[in-house]
Amino acid sequence: MKLRKMAIAMTAVMALGAIAVPAAAEEEAQVIGISMPTQSLERWNRDGSYLKEQFENAGYTVELVYSDNDSSQQVSDIQNLLADNVDILIIAAVDGEALNTAMDEAAEQEVPVIAYDRLIMNDAVSYYVSFDNYTVGQLQGEFIVEQLDLENAGDATYNMEITAGDPADNNATYFYNGAMDVLNPYIEAGTLVVVSGQTDFDTVATDQWDTQTALERAQNILGSYYADGTQLDVWLCSNDSTALGVAQGITSDYAGDNTVIITGQDGDVANLANIVDGIQTMTVYKNVSNESIVTLSLAEAMLNGDTIDESLCDTFEIDCAYDTESYETSEGNVCPSFLLVPSVITADNLDELVDTGLYEMGEDGYLTAVE
């Protein structure tokens, strides 16, 4: 890695016997290039500002860019960061398969890369920081099993629909598989019935995790399969932006009672309001402030040339596992990963979010993000 910024400024000279030594050594701050996918989904705004704050407080200079969910824009954004001589890149990919050109250039310039939250499928990536994505899906599946008490369902059957995430996002299949591995035995046993028959990932996926796309698909399904009064019991949604669309569709286009179980992920403020109102049932919360703290520790260790292994997890008080098995790039190598632990939030434990210090509860009972 280049050490171009190790300029020592002789700001003062002090006489020590006959030898003059610099009294203060002033290093130009190292530059952190952060590339986030979009500002149109709530969480990435939070990720961007937490990361910026963490790194600036630690004395780094930060260049933060958003790529409007456009992977070719993200390639040129990353090229611009490289042209600005950043010392390290932190990237949440729009499309984990579409960054090869930028990754090759980072490798040529010996700029190390951390894949943030979403894996980039290229070996130029040194490390991956995320939450345990498979567990996110598992928590959603287990929640449905518990809510419907599927283990003791006997002859009862429940109707379900499924909305998954963006196929370009490597996380999306992890969420889907985590949930479906829990739910499939009940689908096979006929206890859970997917009335539309739409179960495979490609059919239930949502480009760019877009709320409007999720809404329109929900409206189509409700119009085609539930307009005759068929009861809908649960809608598995991989995250909050899609859950928002599905909830709107159910509100506008479903005539049955309003007790449909809807899952989500992130803790977006609009979805937390829906949880308070009983419109959405749960969200899998991922504390992205903690994700930025882990990323800072990792980046510092990389920039210092430290050995990186599970002992890094002792440097912060955050539940986090060092995983060297789960995440493979498309070049066939495992990307060493630091995976944080997600948790379930419902109307009954919203105070856990307030306890993080990142949300506050208004007198009306709704949560807002602390600025």
Sheet-wide strand order for 88-91: 61-66, 31-36, 88-91, 113-116, 125-131, 337-340, 320-323
Backbone angles phi, psi at 263, to 5 degrees: -95, 170
Residue 130 Cβ, how far from ligand BGC at the closest point, in Å?
7
Contact call for residue 46 and ligand BGC (CB under 6 A): no
Q: Whose CB is nearest to ligand BGC?
A: 239
Q: How far apart are CA 161 and CA 199, in angstroms?
A: 8
Sign of CA dihedral 47, 48, 49, 55: positive
Distances (CA, A) of 68 to 35, 36, 93, 129: 11, 9, 11, 22
Contact call for residue 291 and ligand BGC (CB under 6 A): no
Contact call for residue 239 and ligand BGC (CB under 6 A): yes
Residue 207 Cβ, how far from ligand BGC at the closest point, in Å?
11
Contact call for residue 177 and ligand BGC (CB under 6 A): no
Residue 84 Cβ, how far from ligand BGC at the closest point, in Å?
26
Contact call for residue 285 and ligand BGC (CB under 6 A): no
Contact call for residue 138 and ligand BGC (CB under 6 A): no
Contact call for residue 211 and ligand BGC (CB under 6 A): no
Among 127, 209, 338, 359, binds ligand BGC (CB under 6 A): 209
Contact call for residue 213 and ligand BGC (CB under 6 A): no
Contact call for residue 41 and ligand BGC (CB under 6 A): yes
SS3 96: coil
Q: How far apart are CA 309 and CA 300, in angstroms?
A: 13
Contact call for residue 343 and ligand BGC (CB under 6 A): no
DSSP assignment of 200-259? SHHHH--GGG-HHHHHHHHHHHIIIIITT-----EEEESSHHHHHHHHHHHHHH--S-S-
What does the DSSP 8-state code read for residue 7? P
Closer residue to ligand BGC (CB): 171 or 219 = 171
Residue 82: exposure state from Cβ atoms within 10 A (0-12, 13-18, ≥19): middle
Closer residue to ligand BGC (CB): 233 or 266 = 266
Closer residue to ligand BGC (CB): 87 or 117 = 117
The interface with ligand BGC within residues 254-283 (CB under 6 A) comprises 265-266
Residue 223 corresponds to which tokens in the numbers above? 């119009």
Contact call for residue 161 and ligand BGC (CB under 6 A): no
Q: Among 139, 140, 158, which residue's Cα sits nearest to residue 148?
A: 158
Q: Are 255 and 247 in contact, with CB atoms under 8 Å apart?
A: no
Contact call for residue 43 and ligand BGC (CB under 6 A): yes
Among 33, 95, 118, 162, binds ligand BGC (CB under 6 A): 118
Closer residue to ligand BGC (CB): 191 or 267 = 267
Closer residue to ligand BGC (CB): 32 or 120 = 120
Residue 309 corresponds to which tokens in the numbers above? 């292994």
Contact call for residue 117 and ligand BGC (CB under 6 A): yes
Residues that bind ligand BGC (CB under 6 A): 41, 43, 117-118, 169, 171, 209, 239, 241, 265-266, 286
